[in-house]
A and B are shown apart, each in its own frame.
Chain A
């Protein structure tokens, strides 16, 4: 047997575990019917926020991208417009978290960062939709609806992540 050249470190195991949870959460979200089509709570983002602030930013990027690719392959939307929408949303929210990564704990809590990330997610998706998928100004009518839902779920997800992080500190 040839020895493997790639050395597997603890970080890889961590990434694999976290992305497995994230993929499972987004699959649950996919199968769970939503009252308004297109609006999803984005519970997988709890795991991504958690992995960024519990471990480090590069683990967060890995988990986020693995989640997008693996989920789309399982659902069967790989390389379709849906996939590019979720990819652009993930990219924009990662970029926005990069700005707030080294935040001061007295000035921001995770709820604020989660809100910024969800806003960036929606804006990224709308930019891609407007430029590429539906080049029509009519889709801007949907913006308030999506912004309100992202506001609510941003707060909820941020609160859950904060709870998760404090739980582990106690342990």
Chain B
């Protein structure tokens, strides 16, 4: 503990400026991270083919036939989740609700993915 105090005593004014700037920068990114904008549309994809783009401002249940069976997607006023999947592990259901732009849930066995997009789409997919 005493060594840490000695270390802090050695800090120079420039160091404090850098530390404050750095912490400010971290806070800004956290704020940005928390305030990621909510999306307006839901995009459902099977493999790479887009099955449809739906508005999020509705209460609706979509039933999609995939590679192995039927997936059920619930849209509930601005947020989306999977409720049924034909796979064993049910990872997509455990992901829960998504509502922010660029969030996505992928069901690999059934080859269905849902993602949230904003007004207009900026990026198509993860390319790497």
Chain B residues within CB distance 8 Å of chain A: 7, 10-15, 17-19, 22-23, 25-26, 29-30, 32-33, 36, 102-103, 122-123, 125-128
Query: Does A140 touch B at the CB level, under 8 Å?
Result: yes
- Closest B-chain residue to A147, C-beta based? B26
- Closest B-chain residue to A151, C-beta based? B22
* B14 touching A108, Cβ below 8 Å: yes
Chain A residues within CB distance 8 Å of chain B: 81, 103, 105-109, 111-112, 115-116, 119, 133-138, 140-141, 143-144, 147-148, 151, 154, 159, 162
* A107 touching B14, Cβ below 8 Å: yes
Q: Which of A135, A136, A147, A154 contacts B29 (CB 8 A)?
A: A147
30 CB contacts below 8 A, A to B, read: A103-B14, A105-B12, A107-B12, A107-B14, A109-B10, A109-B14, A109-B15, A111-B7, A111-B10, A111-B11, A111-B15, A112-B11, A112-B12, A112-B14, A112-B15, A112-B19, A115-B22, A119-B22, A134-B127, A135-B123, A136-B123, A136-B127, A137-B123, A138-B102, A140-B29, A140-B32, A143-B33, A144-B30, A154-B22, A159-B7
* Number of CB contacts from chain A to chain B under 8 A: 75
Pairs of residues from A and B, 3 with the lowest C-beta to C-beta distance, nearest first:
A112-B15, A108-B14, A107-B14
Task: Please report whether the interface of chain B is mostly helix, strand, loop or mixed according to DSSP.
Answer: helix
- Give A107 to B127 CA distance when docked, in angstroms: 45
- Give A134 to B127 CA distance when docked, in angstroms: 6
* B18 touching A112, Cβ below 8 Å: yes
* A144 touching B127, Cβ below 8 Å: no
Distance to closest chain B CB from A107 (angstroms): 4
* A116 touching B23, Cβ below 8 Å: no
Residues of A within 8 A of B36 (CB): 141
- Closest A-chain residue to B26, C-beta based? A147
